[in-house]
Amino acid sequence: MDLEKMDRPSVEQRLEAIEQKLDVLLAHFGFDASGNRAGFGGDPALVDVEDAVRAGKKIQAIKFYRERTGANLRDAKAAVDDIAAELRRRDGRVESR
């Protein structure tokens, strides 16, 4: 048996590694495994919230969050702030405080 061939990963192993990386990328960019927008945290109901946060429309994002989840104003604002912070972290932007 050729020693070089023994050290190489099989096609199945390479394919599995590629699929795992693709799943990570899809989740990072807000898509599910089927390529549909998943929204923040994988929740399709929060796609509009995430879009509003990315557009800088915080009040609209809070409104959407309240409509989608039934949360009160304080909880919705806190959730939108958390979403905004997470999106900044994902995008590599540092918060200035």
pLDDT tens digits, 15-54: 999 888 887 777 666 676 777 766 666 677 788 898 899 9
What b/e string do you get for 53-66 counting C-beta neighbours within 10 Å, with b at 16 or more?
beeeeeebbbbbbb
Report if residue 40 sits inside a domain. Answer: yes
Report if residue 5 sits inside a domain. Answer: no
Whole domain around residue 68: which residue ranges? 10-90
pTM: 0.60
3-state secondary structure of 31: strand
Report if residue 4 sits inside a domain. Answer: no
Report if residue 66 sits inside a domain. Answer: yes
Our count of domains for the chain comes to 1
Report if residue 29 sits inside a domain. Answer: yes
Report if residue 3 sits inside a domain. Answer: no
- The answer to whether 30 and 39 are in contact (CB under 8 A) is yes
